[in-house]
Amino acid sequence: MSSETIAAQHPSPSRNYDLIIIGAGSGNSVIGPEMDGWRIAMIERGLFGGTCLNRGCIPSKMLIYPADLAEHAKDNSRYGIQTEFLGADWPAIVQRVFGRIDPIAEGGRQYRHSLPNVDVYEHSAHFVGERELEVGGVRITGDRVVIAAGARSFIPDVPGIDDVPFHTSDSILRIAQQPKHLIILGGGFIATELGHVFQALGSKVTIINRGHWLLQAEDHDVSHRFTELAADRFDLALGTHVERVYRTDTGVGLEITCDAGPRTIEGDVLLVAAGRIPNSDELRVLAGGIDIDQLGNVVVDQYGRTSSPGVWALGDINGRYQLKHMANGEARAVRHNLLHPDDLHEYDNRPAPWAVFTSPQIGAVGVTEQLAQASGRPYVTITHAFGDAAYGWAMEDTTGFCKLIGDPRTRTVIGAHLMGYQASMLVQLLVQGMHLGNTADEMASGQVWIHPALSEVVEQALLKLVDAFDSHVWPA
Ligand SMILES: Cc1cc2nc3c(=O)[nH]c(=O)nc-3n(C[C@H](O)[C@H](O)[C@H](O)COP(=O)(O)OP(=O)(O)OC[C@H]3O[C@@H](n4cnc5c(N)ncnc54)[C@H](O)[C@@H]3O)c2cc1C
């Protein structure tokens, strides 16, 4: 049922709900069977499932998997076998991804429409007062409001950008034809993941980054090593100032000044991947009495409450993380808190793990060395190469490593940064120990590690960290 239909059936200028949810990404999972007696408004201006399902985590990883296969096929001579990458059928790849995803999004939408206690508003909403919103020409109020409206691509104010065609991650995953030469503005996780996809599948890729290193938020050992490796497969323009962007007969051009001096780069497709900003401005949260920080993130306390009583915020819009697994956890906490106002659950404040599914993969949790240093706390670091473990020999790995940062007072791991094959999975071994409160000694020796699995890299790194603790010299 559309909001126009709802407005026609309920001509009163304002409707009151027990619960209003803005955003059917992570917000969609707030609704549970315990709320069957509640009147609920679900507001979604786009596709059900939000960013992760439709234009984020899932389709990007479904594209990365064939990209990984293509990359692996290119050079296997070191193992004594000959393989070749012959090309990619991009339309077939896109069809595989969205042929699976689109029906799931539509199924979620139809399910919400089918619930008798839920009104679905498929329009953009904005606040007009405390717990009061305007959506599709209708004013609605809620006893409780959950803001789960996410974030969107940030478009930098580059001269000429308004006059050229460009993609963001929202659109490029469904692009009709594979670019011949893709120019990416930005050097973060979206730039390096999608750069990997298109380069592995045969496009030329130029990455234009303001900073001198890609993935600058990572531990510097990771970002520096990754950037060195990336230079072998991407055309990199680092330390860049973009003078202007212009349209060409076949696509776009950029005049830049970078570490290597002035350059002009022309390609057929431009992807802007320069970070993401919260949707709080479009939602006009200030009109709802909801505080934001200087970056526009909705400010929440440890329980997810905003400055406006009865209004909660979860996921990307509160700026705590831009990670789906953390948004899911916040949705679970908000759901509990809505149902149990006298027994509030806190948002998870354990170190959040993350991964970058580029090549090589990156998996990390906890503090970076630069953060440990800035905090002034005592710490020790060790690094262990994948190539020092038996499975690393099997892989002839020369680039992967596991860096651990430990607190010698507590003998715990406070940061783990892995780069290499399946780093996103290997890091989970460390997340588990850290979240369960184990020391490095317990993590290393309190279990039997399978030989000669790649997980031995983590075991050996932990043993090295234990040695480093033992030989740590305390400042006099
Ligand atoms: C390319 C890409 C790859 C990613 N990969 C990963 C990954 O591998 N792992 C990971 O953990 N995270 C990843 N992320 C991040 C992850 O997608 C987000 O952290 C997560 O989806 C945030 O969920 P959310 O519910 O906060 O917001 P969203 O899922 O964005 O949901 C917000 C919803 O609100 C709707 N909305 C917004 N404003 C309004 C309004 N005014 N009125 C009505 N509706 C509105 C939007 O249409 C949207 O559907 C990726 C993101 C991108 C872009």
pLDDT digits (tens, 9 = 90+) for 139-182: 999 999 999 999 999 999 999 999 999 999 999 999 999 999 99
Query: 20-33 pLDDT, tens per residue?
Result: 999 999 999 999 99
Q: Whole-model pTM?
A: 0.96
Residue 166 carries which DSSP code?
-
* Type of residue at 340: H
Query: 344-380 pLDDT, tens per residue?
Result: 999 999 999 999 999 999 999 999 999 999 999 999 9
Q: Whose CA is nearest to atom 5 of ligand 1?
A: 57
Q: For position 211, what pLDDT does the model report? A: 97
Label residue 475 by pLDDT band (50, 70, 90): low
Report which of 470, 417, 406, 473 is spatially closest to residue 440, judged by C-alpha positions: 406
Kindly compute the dihedral angle of the four CA atoms of residues 286, 290, 293, 297, in this order, to the nearest 10 degrees.
-90
* Type of residue at 70: A
Q: For position 11, what pLDDT does the model report? A: 42
Using most ligand atoms within 8 A of CB, pick from 324, 335, 347, 348 the residue to mutate for ligand 1. 324
Q: Which atom of ligand 1 is nearest to the CA of 46?
A: 47
* Rounded Cα gap, residues 238 and 214, in angstroms: 8
Mean pLDDT of 115-143: 97
Checking if the pLDDT of 1 tops 50, the result is: no
Checking if the pLDDT of 279 tops 90, the result is: yes
Q: For position 351, what pLDDT does the model report? A: 97
Q: Is the CB of 67 under 6 A from ligand 1?
A: no
The residue from 10, 241, 340, 451 that is catalytic is 451
Q: Is the CB of 316 under 6 A from ligand 1?
A: yes
CB neighbour list of residue 453: distance below 8 Å, 6 or more residues apart: 391
Average pLDDT, the chain: 96
Checking if the pLDDT of 293 tops 90, the result is: yes
Residue 271 carries which DSSP code?
E
Checking if the pLDDT of 135 tops 50, the result is: yes
Q: For position 75, what pLDDT does the model report? A: 86
Over pLDDT 90: what percentage of the chain?
Answer: 96
* Rounded Cα gap, residues 382 and 430, in angstroms: 14
Catalytic residue list contains 451? yes
Say if residues 316 and 150 touch (Cβ distance below 8 Å). Answer: yes
Q: For position 262, what pLDDT does the model report? A: 96
Q: Is the CB of 44 under 6 A from ligand 1?
A: yes
Say if residues 444 and 415 touch (Cβ distance below 8 Å). Answer: no
Report which of 276, 268, 269 is spatially closest to residue 186, judged by C-alpha positions: 276
Checking if the pLDDT of 82 tops 70, the result is: yes
Label residue 465 by pLDDT band (50, 70, 90): very high
